[in-house]
């Protein structure tokens, strides 16, 4: 038999899981939810479709472009701090320099550019206020902007690999160069298409799932390096490293879900059937502590490693007398204190900047006023705007400090354990965020189907 549990707020009685004869399920809630998800045909289809698309992505990530020296490419990764960051967004495809070596990074860059330009350009601002049609138009512009950005990044990657010491790519004809760039652009757009298919027919955000799949695949190598370190007499250090990672995961979950609830009341008149009705209700606005996500970490990392990357083009080769470019590379090296201090400060600064940009785009005070809502004790209009700005600035201090500390966790773990596993805090934030978002979507699908038959 099926038990029914009353819903206090909606007055509904949703169907719940099958129970044992004792009246309670012996399975843990997580495993039971997974079994329930696979019992539903449409939800099972979505999960399997997502997994199939990730398999396709991993297959394409191992299709390399011609003429790549694998040994020289590995050596370049060990000496260049920018490449591991780009490799994270490519899902590990850059290490093989495959046809999808750029991953979805050009699309993410185009999305960030469009988001920053929307409040500045009146035409884009008006499109953002036109509902679904306007958002589709902005998304189309983002796709077109991705193509030249992907071509520019592909050409830059090829030049970097050609100028590396030792060179990863040899001399090539203009036809071969153009073919490689077009192939890399096509690979990026193919991944964007896969991501949109996952969003439409699968579970979770497709672009995030593509990045998630690549990061998780890289964790296999990370576990292998940790095992080798433990076998070489560093078991205590590996255990300490694992504890730091677990504590970081717990902190990420807490700050990702943390939010400040702002109470809101609605009272407006609605004209129905020739009569005027007065409606009233109350709800809340959840202001997230970490509104910016991991975007500030990307911005800060890009700026911090930029001087070293530029200086690498002008630095004297190994064995020659060092010049000014060599000094710049040493100052901004990832092993130096200045690198991590700047990274910490810039992460906090970008967290405030990005949060305020997002908050201004949402226009919560205007939305509340148009919908007849108000915050108890706060006058609508300018007073509401000042109050919300004050609250978001105050809670952003916690979110910015959290991001900055998480950003330097690899340095803390390395110095505390004397083990360098090339752990990426940004990758961990992405993985935890994607897992939480996917779990929420699966839970929403399960909840909707348990209510089936009770909501007509």
Whether 239 maps to a domain, the answer reads: no
Query: How confident is the model at residue 211, as a pLDDT?
Result: 82
- pLDDT band with cut points at 50, 70 and 90 for residue 338: confident
Rg (CA), the chain: 25
57, burial (CB in 10 Å: exposed 0-12, middle 13-18, buried 19+): buried
Q: Are residues 414 and 438 in the same domain?
A: no
> Helix 82-89 vs helix 425-450: angle between axes, to the nearest 10 degrees?
10
CA gap 118, 237 in Å, rounded: 48
Instruction: Kindly report, residue by residue over 406-416, the tens digit of the pLDDT.
Output: 888 888 888 88
Q: Are residues 217 and 296 in the same domain?
A: no
Query: How confident is the model at residue 274, as a pLDDT?
Result: 59
CATH number of the domain that residue 196 is part of: 1.10.3370.10
Q: Are residues 315 and 343 in the same domain?
A: yes
CA gap 33, 36 in Å, rounded: 5
Instruction: Kindly report, residue by residue over 362-376, the tens digit of the pLDDT.
Output: 777 777 777 777 788
User: Whole-model pTM?
Assistant: 0.72
Residue with tokens 């939810």: 33
Number of structural domains the chain divides into:
3
List, as one string, the DSSP characters of 413-449.
HHHHHS------HHHHHHHHHHHHHHHHHHHHHHHHH
Long-range contacts of 317-322 (CB under 8 A, 24+ apart): 317/165, 318/165
Instruction: Kindly report, residue by residue over 25-36, the tens digit of the pLDDT.
Output: 444 566 666 777
Residue with tokens 């009146």: 122
Helix (H, G, I), strand (E, B) or coil at 100: coil
- pLDDT band with cut points at 50, 70 and 90 for residue 7: very low
Query: How confident is the model at residue 185, as a pLDDT?
Result: 92
Whether 68 maps to a domain, the answer reads: yes
Whether 329 maps to a domain, the answer reads: yes
Q: Are residues 69 and 87 in the same domain?
A: yes
Mean pLDDT of the chain: 77
CA gap 83, 63 in Å, rounded: 19
Query: Among candidates 54, 384, 310, which has minimal Cα distance to 194?
Result: 54
Residue range(s) defining the domain that contains residue 153 = 40-231+434-456
Query: Among candidates 312, 311, 304, which has minimal Cα distance to 335?
Result: 304
Instruction: Kindly report, residue by residue over 73-90, the tens digit of the pLDDT.
Output: 777 776 665 666 667 666
Q: Tell me phi and psi for residue 287, to 5 degrees.
A: -95, 115
Whether 244 maps to a domain, the answer reads: no
- Strand (E) or helix (H) holding 16: none
Query: How confident is the model at residue 180, as a pLDDT?
Result: 87
Q: Are residues 98 and 147 in the same domain?
A: yes
Query: How confident is the model at residue 5, as a pLDDT?
Result: 39
């Amino acid at each position: 038999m099926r038990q029914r549990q009353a819903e206090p707020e909606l007055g509904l009685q949703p169907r719940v899981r099958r129970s044992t004869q004792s009246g309670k399920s012996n399975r843990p809630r997580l495993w039971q939810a997974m079994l329930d998800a696979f019992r539903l045909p449409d939800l099972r289809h979505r999960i399997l479709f997502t997994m199939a698309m990730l398999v396709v992505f991993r297959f394409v990530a191992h299709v390399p472009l011609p003429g790549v020296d694998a040994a020289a490419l590995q050596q370049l990764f060990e000496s260049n701090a920018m490449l591991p960051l780009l490799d994270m967004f490519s899902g590990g495809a850059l290490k093989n320099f495959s046809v999808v070596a750029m991953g979805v990074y050009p699309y993410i860059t185009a999305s960030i550019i469009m988001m920053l330009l929307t409040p500045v350009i009146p035409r884009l601002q008006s499109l953002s206020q036109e509902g679904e049609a306007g958002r589709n138009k902005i998304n189309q512009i983002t796709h077109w902007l991705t193509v030249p950005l992907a071509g520019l990044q592909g050409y830059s990657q090829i030049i970097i690999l050609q100028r590396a010491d030792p060179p990863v790519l040899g001399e090539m004809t203009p036809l071969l160069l153009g073919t490689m760039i077009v192939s890399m652009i096509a690979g990026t757009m193919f991944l964007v298409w896969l991501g949109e298919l996952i969003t439409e027919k699968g579970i979770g955000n497709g672009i995030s799932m593509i990045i998630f799949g690549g990061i998780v695949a890289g964790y296999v190598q990370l576990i292998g390096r940790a095992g080798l370190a433990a076998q070489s007499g560093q078991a205590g250090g590996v255990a300490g490293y694992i504890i730091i990672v677990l504590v970081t995961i717990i902190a990420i979950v807490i700050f990702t879900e943390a939010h400040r609830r702002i109470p809101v009341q609605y009272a407006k008149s609605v004209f129905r059937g020739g009569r005027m009705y007065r409606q009233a209700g109350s709800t809340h606005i959840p202001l997230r502590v970490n509104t910016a996500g991991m975007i500030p970490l990307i911005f800060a990392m890009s700026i911090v490693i930029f001087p070293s990357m530029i200086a690498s083009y002008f630095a004297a080769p190994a064995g020659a007398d060092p010049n000014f470019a060599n000094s710049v590379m040493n100052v901004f090296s990832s092993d130096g204190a200045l690198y991590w201090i700047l990274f910490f400060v810039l992460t906090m600064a970008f967290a405030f900047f990005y949060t305020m940009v997002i908050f201004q785009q949402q226009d919560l005070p205007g939305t509340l006023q148009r919908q007849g809502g108000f915050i108890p004790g706060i006058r609508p209009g300018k007073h509401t705007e000042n109050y919300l700005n004050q609250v978001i600035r105050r809670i952003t201090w916690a979110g910015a400090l959290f991001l900055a500390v998480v950003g330097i966790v690899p340095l803390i773990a390395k110095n505390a354990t004397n083990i360098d596993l090339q752990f990426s805090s940004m990758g961990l934030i992405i993985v935890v965020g994607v897992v939480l978002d996917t779990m929420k979507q699966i839970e929403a699908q399960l909840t909707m189907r348990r209510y089936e038959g009770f909501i007509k």
